[in-house]
Amino acid sequence: MYQRLIRRLIYPISLLSQFMHQPTKSHLYAAYQVLHYLKGTPGKDILFKRGDKLTVEMYTDANYAGSLLDRQSTSGLMMFMRGNLVTWRSKKHNVVARSSPEVEFRALVHEICELLWVKILLTNLKIPISCPMKLYCDNKSAINLEHNLIQHAYYCKDMKTF
């Protein structure tokens, strides 16, 4: 029961917690809406399908200077195993990017690290991965950047932290 409640709270609380230091009445109203939603949905659960093959797919996206409050870029990911959503996240970048492809490329690099961590975890748990792990990105500039070694070297020397 506790875990179910916490899973329902994670996303809205992460959004509302951005305004902890300067909340307004609209933020308080949004928090009340979250409580009202939780009160009205006590029996909602997530159904996980069982598949034959262990497939791992990750979708990633980023927006350049998308935050209206501080103009920081934000990236997000969704990871599916056997077609089931198992994790999702959005994160503000702590480095100011110079372009949209740079933001997307930074997100791709970070998500590749996440996929490698999942592969190591599954290997340590002796769970075989029967298919290649897939990472999807919708930004053509970032994809072209990955395939062009000259541009790749330029961006990589400037990328020190995420």
Cβ(113)–Cβ(87) below 8 Å: no
Alpha-carbon span 162 to 153, nearest angstrom: 17
Alpha-carbon span 60 to 104, nearest angstrom: 8
Domain that holds residue 30: 2-40
The DSSP result for 120-142, as a single string, is HHHHHTT----S--EEEE--HHH
Quote the mean pLDDT of the chain: 76
Residues 27 and 96 grouped into a single domain: no
Cβ(79)–Cβ(89) below 8 Å: no
Residues 36 and 109 grouped into a single domain: no
70 assigned to some structural domain: yes
In the predicted structure, residue 31 carries a pLDDT above the cut 80: yes
Residues 24 and 92 grouped into a single domain: no
Can you give the pTM of this predicted structure?
A: 0.58
In the predicted structure, residue 65 carries a pLDDT above the cut 70: no
Q: What is the pLDDT of residues 75-103, one digit of tens each?
A: 788 888 888 888 887 777 776 666 777 77
Q: What's the total number of domains in the chain? A: 2
Cβ count within 10 A of residue 75? 22
Alpha-carbon span 4 to 56, nearest angstrom: 24
